[in-house]
Structure 1
Amino acid sequence: MLPFSRLFAATFLAIVYASVSRAAPHENNVNHATHRIRTVGSRGLQLETFHPASTYQTFGEGIDHPLRKRDGTTLQDSAVTFVQSHLNLTSSEITFKSGFEGQVARHAYVKQSANGIPFANAVANVAFNKDGKVVAFGSSFVKPKTIASPTPSITLNAAIAKAEDVLDGTYNGHPSSIQYLAKSDGSAALTHAIQIQNEETGTWFDAFVDAHSGELLHVTDFVSKASYLVLPITKQNLTQGFETLTNPYDAISSPNGWHSTGTVNFTCVVSGNNAVAFKGTNSSLTAQSSSPLNFLYTQNPATQPTAGSNVDAARTNAFYIVNTLHDVTYRYGFTEAAYNFQSNNFGKGGKGGDPVTVSVQSSAGLDNADFATPPDGQSGLMRMFLWDYTSPERDGALENDIVTHENTHGLTNRMTGGGTGACLQTLESGGLGEGWSDAMADWIEKTSSAVPDFVLGTYVINFSTGVRGYPYSTNPKINPLKYSSLLTYREVHVIGEIWANMLHNVYAALVEASGWSSTARTNPDGKEGNVMFLHLMIDALALQPCNPTFLDARDAWIQADVNRYQGANKCVLWKAFASRGMGMNAASYGDSAAVPSGC
C-alpha cells in the first residue's frame, strides 16, 4: 500500500506527518515484533493479532545436521530432522510445508503440529548451502500451556457465517482448513481457517475462527495498501516522456513473451502468463492499436485520465511495468519454485494459475494503491487509483515508482515464509515490507553509478517532496532516520521509511565499493554493487524467518553475502547498517555503531 507519510493542506500544501503515534521517550515498543492491531469490518472491530516471537540464527559457512552425509536424503527429510534435533521435538510435531532450490541455497519451510494438525503461526524455516550444511534457521515454535481439543465444536458453516459478518466479506471458496493458533496467553486454540473477501472494498483476509467458541481470533491480511508506448522502467513518471519499446520482454524469464501462457495466446490484448491489466473487470482489456501486437496509445495529460485513449495508455503502462518486474526479479531468483506469479509454471515447481491482476483506475479508492498477496497458486491483485490533488486528476498507473512499489509487495510476501503470503503481518515486519517496496523503486530507476537522493510519488501529487517524510539519502542531515527511530513510530509506512533509507545507504556503499552495471536488469551475473544489492535483497527474503525484525533482516543480508559471495561484502554491509544505528550491538531499538573486528 502507498499511503502518504504527509497530509497536504488545501492552501499551500503544508506538510505534516500523518498516521504517526509518538511513543514516550523511553518506551520500548517490544510488541512491534509480535503484535499488530488492525481495525476490521464496518463496525470498527479492533483485533490484536499475535505472532510468536521468532528466534533467528545464521551460521556463516554452515553447520552439520544428522542426515547431511546420507545418500538419497530429500530436502523434506533434512529439514524435518534438523528441526527435530535442534528443538528436541518428535517428527510428529513437525509438518513440512514447502521448499525450493534457490540459486545459492535450498530453502525449507515447516510448521509446528499437534494431534496431526499444523499451527498457523508457529513456523520455522531452514536454509542449506550447496554443501548441504545448515546456514540459517528461524523458528517461532511454541510450548503451549494448554492445547484445545482437536475435534471442532462448531461447524465450518457457522465459522464462515461468523467471519463473513465480522469482516464484511464473503467466503471466496478457497479450501478451508483446521489449524491450531498459538495465542499470546500461552494457549493453543483450534481454528477454522477461511478466506474472506470483499471485492468492493478491496479487503482479503485469511480468517481464523475458534472452532470451539466461534470467536474470530486472528486474521492474515493479504492486502499491502501503491511493442508498447510506455514510460521505460528507468523513468519515474510521464513528465520524462513516453517511448515506443519493441519486444521488451526477457526471453529467459518469459520464454513465450508476455502474451502467451504457452498453451493460450492472447493475440490482441494486455493479458499473458505473468499479468493481466484491466479497468473495471478483468475482461475489460486494452486491445492492440494495430497489428501485430502494437499497443501504441498516446496519453493526453490535459484531459481526465478516464478520457479518450488515456485508459488504454494506463493499462498498457501497468502491464509493461509488472511484466518487466517479473522478468527482472526472475533473473535474481523469484522463480516458479520460489512462489512467483505465473499462469503456467512450465513444470518448474510452485503452483501456477496466479498471474498478477492489475486493476487500473480502480473505483474503490483515491490517492492510493494496494496489492493483495494470497498464497502461491492464487493471483495477486494490484489496484491502482486516481489521485485528485490536481485538475485534471492524475493516474497512479503512470507513476512507475508507485507501480513498482505495489508489485514488490508480491515479491516480499511470497518469498518470506515460503509462499504463504502470511509472514509479514506484525507491525515491524509490515514496515519492512513497505521499505523493500520503496527500495525496489529506488533500485530499478537508477541509470548511472550516481546515488542521488530518491523521492517517491512526486507526479501524482504534483509536489517535489513526494509522499514520504524525507528523501532517501546518505546524508543524515537530509534524512535523519535510524534504527532507534522505531521507538517513535507505530505505523507501517513510516517504519518502512526507516528500512528503505537503511537500504538506500547499503546500496550506495556497495556501488561505491564495487561499481555499477548498466545491464543489471537483464544480467545478474556481475559483481558490481547494484547487481550484488538485488541478489542479496532477494536471497535474504528466503533466508529470514516469518515476521522478521529489522535485526533479523539485517542478519539475513549478512548471511546471504556468505552464501553467494563468500562474505566478500561483510565489512561494507556492516558499516552501512552501523551508519544508521544497526551495528553489531543494536538491540531493542537502541542504536549501535559497532562493526566486526577487522572492519
Structure 2
Amino acid sequence: MEQVYAQASKYLGIWLTLLSLWLINPVQVYAQVEVETARKYVLSTIEQQKLTAADVNGLVVSSTYRSPTTGWYHVYFNQGYQSVEVYNRVMSIVLIGGQVAALNHNFIPGINLLPRTSALKGTITPFDALQKATANVGLASANLAQTQAPTITKLTDGTLTKSTYLIPDLSDEKIDVKLYWLPVEADQKGQKLVEKLALTWNVRFLTKDAKNGWNIHVDAFSGEILKKKDDVVHCNFGTPDHLTTPHNCPSSSAYFGFRKESLSPNGYTVFDYPLESPNHGSRTESVNPYARFVPTGTGPGATNGWHNDGSVDYITTRGNNVWAQEDTDNNNEVGASPSSATLEFNYPYTQGLNTAAGNQNAAITNLFYWNNLLHDVLWKFGFDEPSGNFQNNNQGRGGLGNDYVLADAQDGGGLDNANFYVPEDGVNGRMQMYLWSNANTYQPDGDFDNGIISHEYGHGWSARLTGGPANSTCLQNAEQGGEGWSDYLALMMTTPWSSLSANVASANLPRGIGTYASGEPTIGLGIRQYPYSYDMANVNSAVTYAKVGDTNFSIPHGIGTIWATMLWDMTWEIILQDNQITANIYDTPTSVTAMQGNIAALKLVTEGLRLQPCSPSFVQSRDAILQADQLLFGGRYRCAIGRAFARRGLGANASTGVSSDDRIVTEDYTLIGGNTLSSPATATACSGSSFTYTATSSTTGVSFSWTRAVVAGITNASAVGSSAIVNETLINTTDQPITVRYTFSISPSGCGAGPSRLPVDVIVNPVVTPIVGSYSVCQNATVPSDGGLSVAIVETNTVTRTLSTSSPIYTRASGDDVTSYTAGRSVYYQAFTFTAPSSGTQTFGITSATLSDGYNDTYLSLYQTSFNPASPATNFLHGDDDSGPAYLSQLTHSLTQGVTYILVVATYSSNVTGSFTLQGSAPVFFTGTPTWFTSLTSTTPIAVIPTFNPVGVAGSGIPNTATPGTTTFYVSTPERSVCRVATTFTILSTAPPVVTSTSTTITAGGSITLNATGCTDTGSVLKWYQTADDVAISMPVSPTGTTQYYARCERTTGTKVCLSDKSENVTVTVVVPTGVYSIRSGNWNSPTTWNCTCIPDGTLPVQIMDGHSVTIPNAYTGLAKGIQFWGAGKLIQEGTGRVIIGN
C-alpha cells in the first residue's frame, strides 16, 4: 500500500490520517507517536510555512529514525498530491524531547493551482516507460525480457504507481519505475520558476558496467523524456584544465608478482590515516585497526573486524561495510581480491610507470582499508545504521542493510576519474576508482589517493543524510554543495591535525586536492581552481558566493569548490574560537556537547546535512549548520560560523533567489552571529496610534539602544532610544503601508567586535478618517435616515488591494503591451469596474507591489463591458506584463466616455499573493465600501455600508434607543484594511432633574433662585422654564405674582441637543405687604419713595422692600409705627437724621 496521508475530515479544511506506517520495505515500523506529533505540527503551522492546506493534504512518510549520537528524532515527509508523490519535494522535521525543534522543506506552495499535463488515468505502462528510457540512453537493444514478474504498488482505486523489475541484461540491480509529479521549471525573466506539474514515470537503474545510474522521467501520457540525470557521481578528476587537455595513456603495466611480506595477522600495509597519498608519506602496517577508529564495545559491534558481514567470515577484502575487488575488465562482475587466512594484507608497492598490475593487491587493500576507516569514523559522527550508512548487516540498529559498498579498484572503464553510485538505503553503493595519466614519472592509481577515496565516500555520506535515507537524489540541483562536502570530507580525513596548531598560520596553509593524481608535488594546486586555505587575501580571494553565477566555476565541481572553501574557513574559525585541535579526527568525546574545534566542525556539518531541505541552496545549507549549532551547542559557534560564511559573501542578507536550480544569487558580507533578538524582527502599527515594541535577547546581561531615521511618508522626525523599549506614535500620511526600520544595538555583541546591530521593521499602516466618527441620538428618539457613523466613498486615481489564497483565480493573458489574448498562467486576481468619465487616452499602471514571489511581478489586463474569468479571451482589449518599472505592469488605452471598462490586476506567476497599488491617470476608481465591526479582532463584519446606523442591526447590541450608553464600533476600508478605527455611537441620557422644593414664597418686588439636582452627564446643563408659556428663563426670578416654573436637563454632544422630560412644577407665591412700603430707593421725606405717595406720619408700620435703600436726610426726623426690612432692604441715616418709632 502507498504510504500516504489522505484527506479524511477537516482541519482548516483538512485532516490528515495515516494510512500506513511502514517503510517501502515493511520490516521497519515508523514510530507513530513521533510521526503524529510531526504531522500535527505541520497542520498547525501551515501559514508559518507559507503553505496551504492542499500542499500538505497528501504527506507521504519517506523515512523516520532516532539518531543515536544526538537522540533527535528525524521525520521526513514527501509532498504528495492526488495520492502521488511530488518528485524531490521533502520536509525534514526534527523532534527533541517529543517536541518539534526544527522544520525545513522545499514543498511547492499552492500546488493545487499549478497546471497539470495529464490525469492519473490513461497513462502509458511502466514497462512502456522503461522501454522509452532505455532507448533514450542508447540501450534499446538490451533484452528487456523479464526474468521475474515485477513487484507492483497500487493506490486503493487500483491506479498503478510503481513497478520493480529484475532484468539481468540491463542491470545487475533492481529497476524501479515509479509514478511522480515532476515540477517543471521554466526560465522566466532570468528566474527558474515551477511552471506546471508533469505526471511522469521515473525510471531508475544502474547500467551493467556501473558507469551510469540513469534517473529518467518519462511523460506518463506522451512517453516524452522530460528529465534525465546520472546518479553515478562522476568526479572527472584531473588537472584543472583536464576538460581541454588530452590524456596519453601509458603502456601496459609490467608484472611485478604478488609477493607477500611476512608481517602480522590482522595487519594491513597501507597509506594510513592521515596520509593523503603516496606523495605524502610512506606505507605502514596497521594491526587490528578494528578497534582503533571505533573502540570495541562502543562501536558497530560485529562490524569491528571488517571481514564479517553478520553471518560469514571472509578471508578476502570483503566484510560488512565494503567488498573491494579489481575490475580491470570493467565487467562489474566478481573480480579478484587479495586473500589471507590470517588476514595479513601486506603487499608490495612500487611507485613508477607501468606499476598498476604489480601494485594491484596493495591497491585493493588500501581501498578496502580506507572504506572501512571512513565507515567507522563517520559512524562516530552520526552517519550510522538508522541514518542510512553502508552495511550488509545493521545488527538490529535500524535502517536497511544489504547495502555495503562495492569498491572497484583499477576499474577498466576509463582514466582520470572516480565515481560513486549512491542509491537509497538498502541498495549497494558502488565506488569505482581509476588509473590516472597526468604524472610523468609514475602511474597514479586512485586506490592509493585517500583524498579521492574520501571524496567519493563523501557522496554517500551527503546524499543519504540529505532528505533522509530513503531518498538519495536530493543533491541534483545546480546550486548544491555535493562536490564541496566531498572535498571537505577529504580535507578533514587527510589533514595531519597533530602537526598543526590552533592559530592563523596553520589555518593559512594551502591545501590542494588530487596533487598525487595530477602528478604535482604536495604543495601543488591540484585539481581545483584554487587551493583550500583560510588565507583569503593571498590564496583564494576570488572564491566567494557570487562565483556561483560565474560560468568559470563549473557545475558541479566549481560550485562545490566554493562550498568546500566556506566549510574549511568555518572549521578554522571554530578551531580558533576554541583554541583546540584534536590530533586524530576519530577521537571523539563521549558527550556530543563536549566536542570542540575540528571535531565540533565535522559534527556540525554532518547534522547540517540531516537538517537541510532537499535540493538545498548554499543559504539553506548554511542555515542548517547554524540550526545544528543551536540545537547541539546552544549557539556556541554562531559567531564563528557567521564570520566564515560572511567573509565569502554568504552573509546575513545573501539570497539564492527564487530557485536553487539556477546560478542567480546575491552575495552579502553582513556578519551573521553574535547576540540576537529573541523578540520578533517585524511588528505592525497603525498610523496615529501609540505602539510599544520591547526588544529581548536570549542572552542575559546585555543592554539595548536603538535609532530610527526619517522615512518618507512618515511625519515623525528621527529618534533614538537608550533602552529596549520603543513607544511611539507614527503618522503615515500616505495610502500605503510604510516600513519604518529601527536599528537595535545589543552590547556586548557576543562576537567580540562592537555591538550587534539588528534591524526591526515596523510596518505603519494607514487608517481611514471617518466623516462622522462619533454620533449621538437622544434617548427614545429616532435616528434620521441619513444619520449614523459615516465614512465617505470618493473618486480616486489610486487604489491599494491585497491578493490572498482566497482570491479568485483566472487564466491571465501573456505578453507585453498586447491587444490580443493568448493564454498564460492561472493566477490570483482582482477586478476593478469603472465608467470612463470622458473620451481619450488613459494610462493605468501598478506603481508598487509586495508579492510573495520576491520579484513583485504583476500582470494587468483591460476589458470592455464585462469580464468573465471563465472566458478570459472575451471582451479582452489590452494586456501588459513589464512595461512599467521593474516587473510592474502598465498600459495605455483610448477610452470612450460612458463605456464600462474592467481592469484586472493579477500576478505573473501562479500561487503568488501580496499587495499592490493600482494608479490611473484620471480618478476613475472609487474607494472601497467601508466595513464595520464590533471589535478590533472580529472576523465577521456587522455591516458593509458608507453610513452605519446600528439601531436594530442584529449583533449591534442596540435594539432601540431606550437605553442610554455609548457603544464602540470599528471601521476599515479595502484601501486601509489592516487597521480599524474606533467610532462611537451614543444614546444620550434624558432623565429629568429633581427640584429641591415644589413651593416657595417671596414678597412682591423680591427675587428668588430655584434649585434642582441632576444633569450630571457630560455636556448636560440645567434649564428653567415658566410653566405657563414654556419660555426659558434664567435665575434668579422676580415674579410680580404667584408663578409656576419647571426644570429640564439639556445635553449637547456635538450638534446634537437633547432635552429631558419636565421636572415637577415649582410654585413661587408673591406676598404683597400692607401699610406703607417702599417702591423704590429714595429719601424718607420724599412721597415718591412710598406706595402711598405720602410721607409716613407714624400711624402705620413702614416696610423697606428687598433691594431698596431709604435715606434719612441730615437733621430730619422720620416717624413710623414700626419698621420691617425685606431681603436686602436697608435704612441709611445721614448726619443727625433719625426715625422715631411709636406704639
TM-score calculated relative to the size of structure 1: 0.84
Q: Is the 8 A contact 2:201 2:220 kept in 1?
A: yes
Tell me the residue number matched to 2:526: 466
Q: Is the 8 A contact 2:638 2:672 kept in 1?
A: no
Match of 2:634 among 562, 566, 580: 566
Shift of 1:201: 6.6
Tell me the residue number matched to 1:492: 556
Shift of 1:516: 1.1
In structure 2, the CA distance between the partners of 1:167 and 1:371, relative to structure 1 (3 Å rule), is same
Tell me the residue number matched to 2:447: 397
Matched, 1:215 2:224: yes
Q: Distance in 2 between matches of 1:82 and 1:493?
A: 38
Matched, 1:435 2:484: yes
Tell me the residue number matched to 1:193: 202
Q: Which amino acid aligns with 1:82?
A: Y
Tell me the residue number matched to 1:582: 650
Q: Is the 8 A contact 1:124 1:141 kept in 2?
A: no
Shift of 1:245: 0.3
Q: Is the 8 A contact 1:368 1:384 kept in 2?
A: yes
Q: Distance in 1 between matches of 2:122 and 2:465?
A: 32
2:349 match: secondary structure: coil
Tell me the residue number matched to 1:244: 285
Q: Distance in 2 between matches of 1:285 and 1:228?
A: 18
Higher relative contact order (CA 8 A, sep 6+): 1
Shift of 1:123: 2.3
Tell me the residue number matched to 1:130: 97
Tell me the residue number matched to 1:553: 621
In structure 2, the CA distance between the partners of 1:461 and 1:586, relative to structure 1 (3 Å rule), is same
Q: Is the 8 A contact 2:415 2:436 kept in 1?
A: yes
Shift of 1:215: 1.0
Q: Is the 8 A contact 1:236 1:399 kept in 2?
A: yes
Deviations 1:453-488 (A, max 9, x none): 211111112212211111111111211111122121
Moved more, 328-337 or 482-491: 482-491
Q: Is the 8 A contact 2:213 2:232 kept in 1?
A: yes
Tell me the residue number matched to 1:520: 585
Q: Distance in 1 between matches of 2:493 and 2:560?
A: 18
Match of 2:313 among 256, 260, 265: 265
Deviations 1:499-541 (A, max 9, x none): 1111111111111111111243142444321110111000000
Q: Distance in 2 between matches of 1:399 and 1:339?
A: 25
Q: Distance in 1 between matches of 2:77 and 2:227?
A: 20
Tell me the residue number matched to 2:25: none
Matched, 1:354 2:403: yes
Tell me the residue number matched to 2:136: 166
Q: Is the 8 A contact 2:88 2:615 kept in 1?
A: no
Deviations 1:565-592 (A, max 9, x none): 1111111111121121122122233222
Q: Which structure: greater strand fraction?
A: 2
Q: Which amino acid aligns with 1:118?
A: E
Q: Distance in 2 between matches of 1:201 and 1:343?
A: 20
Tell me the residue number matched to 1:423: 474
Q: Distance in 2 between matches of 1:363 and 1:584?
A: 47
Tell me the residue number matched to 2:38: 79
In structure 2, the CA distance between the partners of 1:228 and 1:254, relative to structure 1 (3 Å rule), is farther
TM-score calculated relative to the size of structure 2: 0.45
Q: Which amino acid aligns with 2:63?
A: S
1:412 match: secondary structure: helix
Matched, 1:283 2:334: yes
Q: Is the 8 A contact 2:92 2:105 kept in 1?
A: yes
Q: Which structure: greater helix fraction?
A: 1
Shift of 1:381: 0.9
Q: Distance in 2 between matches of 1:98 and 1:565?
A: 26
In structure 2, the CA distance between the partners of 1:130 and 1:282, relative to structure 1 (3 Å rule), is farther
Tell me the residue number matched to 1:530: 598
Shift of 1:73: 5.6
Q: Distance in 2 between matches of 1:397 and 1:372?
A: 17
Q: Which amino acid aligns with 1:568?
A: R
In structure 2, the CA distance between the partners of 1:486 and 1:524, relative to structure 1 (3 Å rule), is farther
Deviations 1:121-141 (A, max 9, x none): 322222223351332322233
Q: Distance in 2 between matches of 1:119 and 1:475?
A: 43
1:461 match: secondary structure: coil
Tell me the residue number matched to 1:595: 672
Q: Which amino acid aligns with 1:479?
A: N
Tell me the residue number matched to 1:53: none
1:386 match: secondary structure: coil
Give matches, 1:54-65, under 5 Å: none
Q: Distance in 2 between matches of 1:594 and 1:219?
A: 39
Q: Is the 8 A contact 2:588 2:595 kept in 1?
A: no
Match of 2:539 among 478, 483, 494: 478
Q: Is the 8 A contact 1:487 1:589 kept in 2?
A: no
1:394 match: secondary structure: coil
Q: Is the 8 A contact 1:92 1:116 kept in 2?
A: no
Deviations 1:364-388 (A, max 9, x none): 1111111111111111111111001
Q: Any stretches of 5+ residues in structure 2 without a counterpart?
A: 1-15, 18-30, 140-169, 186-193, 236-266, 656-664, 676-748, 752-1143
Tell me the residue number matched to 2:321: 274
Q: Which amino acid aligns with 1:263?
A: S
Q: Which amino acid aligns with 2:432?
A: R
Q: Which amino acid aligns with 2:214?
A: F
Matched, 1:224 2:233: yes
Overall identity of the aligned pairs, in %: 31
1:334 match: secondary structure: coil
In structure 2, the CA distance between the partners of 1:152 and 1:306, relative to structure 1 (3 Å rule), is farther
Q: Is the 8 A contact 1:168 1:198 kept in 2?
A: no
1:164 match: secondary structure: helix
Give matches, 1:282-321, under 5 Å: 283-288=334-339, 290-308=340-358, 310-321=359-370
Tell me the residue number matched to 1:509: 573
Tell me the residue number matched to 2:772: none
Tell me the residue number matched to 1:16: none
Q: Which amino acid aligns with 1:564?
A: L
Moved more, 219-228 or 320-329: 219-228
RMSD: 2.1
Deviations 1:37-90 (A, max 9, x none): xxxxxxxxxxxxxxxxxxxxxxxxxxxxx99xxxx9622222233333323426
Q: Which amino acid aligns with 1:507?
A: T
Deviations 1:276-313 (A, max 9, x none): 1111245223233x5411100011113524322x1000
Matched, 1:376 2:425: yes
Shift of 1:175: 3.6
Shift of 1:220: 4.4
Tell me the residue number matched to 1:29: none
Q: Is the 8 A contact 1:208 1:217 kept in 2?
A: yes
In structure 2, the CA distance between the partners of 1:553 and 1:217, relative to structure 1 (3 Å rule), is same
